[in-house]
Amino acid sequence: MTPVEGGDLYERGAANLARVARQLDERIDEPRHAAGRERLLSALTKRARPPSTARRLLLLAATLALAAVVGVVLERRPAQLEYRVAGPVVADGPWLGVAPSGGAVGMHFSDGTEVDLGPGSKGRVAEVTGDGARVVLGAGVLQARVVHRPHARWTVAAGPYTIEVTGTAFDVGWSTAGEELDLSLHDGSVIVRGPSLPDGLRVAAGQRLVARAGTGEAKLSPLLAPLPLADPPVAGPAVRPAEEPSQVHPTPRPLPTWSEMLADGNFRGVVEAADARGTDVALSRGPLADVVALADAARYLHDRVLAKRGLLAERSRFAGSAEARGAAFVLGRMADDGGSRDEAIRWYDTYLAESPGGSFAAEALGRKLVALVESGDTAGARSVAKEYLRRFPHGAHAGYAHDRLPEP
Amino acid sequence: MARVLGFAENRPLTRLRIVSPGRERPEDDAALVAAVLAREPGAAGRMWDRYASLVRGMLRRMLGPVDVEDGIQDAFLRLFRDLDSLRDPTALRSFLIGITLHVAKSELRRRRAKRWLLLSDDGVVAEPEALAADEWDEPRAAVRSLYKMLDRVSDERRTVFVLRYVEGLDLAELSAVLDCSLATTKRRVADAARRVNLLAASDPLLAPYLEGEA
């Protein structure tokens, strides 16, 4: 056999032999594929090792201080919503857990919807479609701000209850021990179904619903007011009045922190506590957590003056902190919503400069783009549109940015 | 504490409502790399969706009928760790193949060390971790024989054999992955083919495959 003949023979033999190995193909069923993806994304969230260069190390350290951000895609179709998880996630099987002493964990969806899990809570995204998602609250407190869109379909499940949402903002708590649902509506309305509520109960803005699965009890009351325990039940005959009202309201923990009150939705309590201490003193000498809680509580109560004072106090007293950097974005959004576009753009620029890879970078840049367009700065808007598409080609404002650019 | 954004504020909803969804455009590798580096929401998941099959297939065909899930995770974590060092984003696929090969070779070294320790202990060669029954079909015996045979060749020859003949990389791509010249690549391909032919010829299960008779 000549070398050439031998080479051809070996070539053919190796190629034939390779057929055996090809039986080990890459086929994988979708559940295993999805499980691998979740495992990877969870590992990326928890990974503490920084990238190689000093610049990346600094950037990551700053970003981790604010939030550990990972991207998650549940479906391959581009039309599917996407979401990312930000915050100190604690893996708990399929659940996203939040340490009792940690900060909130946020789920930021590509349509702008935000779902936050409070300290000590656990939840998961069970399903994502192009129109919304199904979020399961395993225990604790969940806060949601669902962006209203045509055909939007969002559901939050807590125990046997489901909350159907099209566009609204609400807090919901679920106690596994007491099987108690506690829902507070800040905006819009939702339909709640569950034990004693088979036909669904509409809960509107400014209302609070407390429902207990064990007894079928369900009570509506005005938000931020004591629950009217003596009121008749709101649902049909299946709803029984509370036999022991004291069980509906567990004894509150003594002296909750302002952050805990905020997580519980007790915004008025935070502001009243600040009044008692002296708001000026709280803002000028209080710890960072209290200042953040007060600023956020004021925002939720639409007290823009107090909210802005709190945010500015965060920035001046705790400059360089994650909270101070995040405050720049919130200040921009408040100015934006108040019609002060120039001020909004300055704050967005501040946030983007301080947190170029921050959790709200995409939204800050997108909102800056909208503000520039609305202020008539066409050239500036085009420049920002290009930057947005370069950095966030699939972001929530991508379509809007495309529309700002001339046709090729 | 992490800031919870203003869920009680209404105006942002109005603002976001006017934003139209992004145009659907195919995302090339360069755009995907940019999105991951920008930590764009969903980018890491898209990377997984696009390349998990490639990594899984390569690892299985490099390592044989064993569970490779840990290896896949390792490859992707290395990819995300080192992605900022990728100078040409269009070369993402080759970059990932190189990382996967590194993971596979590490596993082969680990196995070899384990096998050596076991041999020194009681003379028993450790078998690869078996796959679950639903992981792959017949003919299992030929597959097992092939990978037993590949355990007897060097990592370099094994890599060349798998990439060239199993994965089907052309010589140019192979030389890029191996980081050697085209001429050297050809020599290494011929050497690997000769070696596996000689070993397979003495294996009653594999010999028929050499002639295409199996």
pLDDT tens per residue across span A124-163: 888 888 888 889 898 888 888 887 777 778 889 898 888 9
Handedness of CA B145, B148, B153, B155 (dihedral sign): positive
Residue A400 to chain B, least CA–CA distance (Å): 6
Mean pLDDT of B88-111: 88
Q: Tell me if B41 and A262 make a contact (CB, 8 A cut-off).
A: no
In angstroms, how far is CA B53 from the centroid of its own chain? 8
Domain ranges of chain B: 27-113, 137-214
d(C-alpha A334, C-alpha A242), whole Å:
42
Q: B27-113, what's its fold?
A: Rna Polymerase Sigma Factor; Chain: A (1.10.1740)
Q: Which of B20, B64, B200 sits opposite A399 (nearest CB)?
A: B20
- Give strand ranges (E) for A154-283: 154-158, 161-165, 169-175, 180-187, 189-194, 197-204, 207-212, 218-222
Residue A289 to chain B, least CA–CA distance (Å): 6
Position B19 pLDDT exceeds 60? no
What pLDDT score was predicted for residue B126?
39
What pLDDT score was predicted for residue A309?
94
Interface test with B, best of A12, A26, A58 (most B CBs within 10 A): A26
What pLDDT score was predicted for residue A275?
87
In angstroms and rounded to an integer, the radius of gyration of the C-alpha atoms of chain B is: 23
Handedness of CA B158, B162, B165, B168 (dihedral sign): negative
What pLDDT score was predicted for residue A38?
77
What pLDDT score was predicted for residue A56?
60
CB of A16 less than 8 A from some CB of B = yes
In angstroms, how far is CA B96 from the centroid of its own chain? 8
**Residue of chain A nearest B48, judged by CA positions:** A37
In angstroms, how far is CA A364 from the centroid of its own chain? 16
* DSSP state string for A148-189: P-TT--EEEEETTEEEEESS-EEEEEEETTTTEEEEEEEESE
Domain ranges of chain A: 30-131+140-150, 159-248, 258-404
**Residue of chain A nearest B20, judged by CA positions:** A399
Q: Tell me if B16 and A144 make a contact (CB, 8 A cut-off).
A: no
CATH label, A258-404, candidates 1.10.340.30, 3.30.390.30, 2.60.120.10, 1.25.40.10: 1.25.40.10
Q: Which two tokens stand for residue A315?
A: 């920035």
What pLDDT score was predicted for residue A408?
64
A:349-408 residues touching chain B, CB 8 A cutoff:
357, 360, 362, 366-367, 370, 390-400, 402-403
What pLDDT score was predicted for residue B3?
54
Q: Give ipTM to 2 decimals.
A: 0.73
- Give strand ranges (E) for A40-165: 69-72, 83-86, 89-92, 95-98, 105-109, 114-117, 122-128, 133-145, 154-158, 161-165
What pLDDT score was predicted for residue A352?
93
Mean pLDDT of B87-105: 89
What pLDDT score was predicted for residue B185?
92
Q: B137-214, what's its fold?
A: Arc Repressor Mutant, subunit A (1.10.10)
- Beta partners for A108? A84, A114
Residue B106 to chain A, least CA–CA distance (Å): 20
Instruction: Please give the residue that has the higher pLDDT: either B180 or A89.
Output: B180
What pLDDT score was predicted for residue B99?
92
Domain A159-248 has CATH 2.60.120.1440: yes
Question: In three state form, how does the secondary structure of B19-63 look?
Answer: CCCCCCCCCCHHHHHHHHHCCCCCHHHHHHHHHHHHHHHHHHHHH
What pLDDT score was predicted for residue A305?
92
The H-assigned helical ranges of A67-118 are none
Position B157 pLDDT exceeds 70? yes
Confidence of residue B43 (pLDDT cuts 50, 70, 90): confident
Confidence of residue B67 (pLDDT cuts 50, 70, 90): confident
Residue B122 to chain A, least CA–CA distance (Å): 30
Q: Which two tokens stand for residue A346?
A: 């300055």
Instruction: Please give the residue that has the higher pLDDT: either A378 or B127.
Output: A378
Task: Please identify every stretch of chain A with a pLDDT value under 70, giving residue numbers as ranges.
Answer: 1-7, 24-31, 45-79, 92-93, 102, 166-167, 199, 223-255, 263-265, 408
What pLDDT score was predicted for residue B115?
64
DSSP 8-state assignment for residue A42: H
What pLDDT score was predicted for residue B133?
41
